[in-house]
Structures are given as C-alpha cells and as structure tokens.
Amino acid sequence: MNNIDSDPTITGTDREIASRFARMRASEAASAPAFTVQTIPAAERARADHPRTVARIVPRLAAAIAVVAVAVSLLYETPQEDPAALYASIMENQQVQTDSLLIVSDSVLPALRAVPRLFDTESAFAANTETD
C-alpha cells in the first residue's frame, strides 16, 4: 500500500508516476543481491578493512603529531619577561648611559673651562655651607 493511495488530493498523474515506480521496483527487486548478514570473523574484517583503515589513520596520525608539536612548542617557549623587571633594567641601563654622558673630561671638552661659574657654583655653595 503506497502512501499516496491514502491521499485524497492525489491526481491521475500521481497515480501514473506511482505505477511506474512500482514497475521499476518490481524489476529491480529481481536483481537484488541475496540478504546474507552473518558474523564476519574479526581478523577477516580487519584484513578486508586494512587499506581503508590505513587511509583513515594516516590523517589522524598527522593531526595528532601536529597537536603534540604545538603543545611541545608551547611548553618550551621562552617565558615572557616581567614588564616591571624589563622596565627597571632599561631604566638602569639608560641611567648608566646618561651618567657616562655627563662625565666630561677637560680633554674631551676644553671649552668647558670657559664657563667657570658652572663649576664655581658648587664650590661656592660648599664654601658657604662650611662657613655657616
């Protein structure tokens, strides 16, 4: 009993299509292979599935290797420096640089001698404090 037989809206065309399908169904049924479902020994099935199993395993194995590689690279990645420590080290280095730049010898900058007040200020200040 076809589902369309119980449909009241069915047309003659539908019935014609249904009968053609029924004829095709009957003719194809003759060519249907026998239904033989039986337990297949595991070893035999494994042997039969071998090429397909390999084909299925290879991409999975590649994916697993990629995941492990990423995990290892994450584990052994150089830890990020503490920003505070980084800042302190930069500033210290800068300070050293700045201090060294401030040290000017007479030989390097002889014209500095022409500005006596610059040097005298400090000595005059020291002299004043001593006096006080």
Partner 1 sequence: MAPNLIEVLEVHHRDSWGWALACCQWQQSLADDVLQESYLRVLDGRARFGGKSTEKTWFFGIIKRVALELGRSQARQGWHIFTTVAAVPEPAEQDPGLAAAEHDESSGQLRSALNAIPQRQREVLHLVFYAELTLEQAAHTLGMSLGSARTHYHRGKSRLAELLELSHE
Binding region for partner 1 (CB under 8 A): 1-4, 11-14, 16-18, 20-21, 23-25, 27-33, 35, 37, 39-40, 45
Smallest separation (angstroms) from partner 1 to the CB of 61 = 19
Write the DSSP string, 91-105.
HHHHHHHHHHHH---
Smallest separation (angstroms) from partner 1 to the CB of 62 = 17
Report the first-to-last Cα separation within the chain, whole angstroms: 125
Smallest separation (angstroms) from partner 1 to the CB of 63 = 19
Q: Which of 22, 24, 18 is CA-nearest to residue 4?
A: 18
Q: Please say which residue, 26 or 118, places its beta carbon nearer to partner 1.
A: 26
**Separation between Cα atoms, residue 116 and residue 106, nearest integer Å:** 13
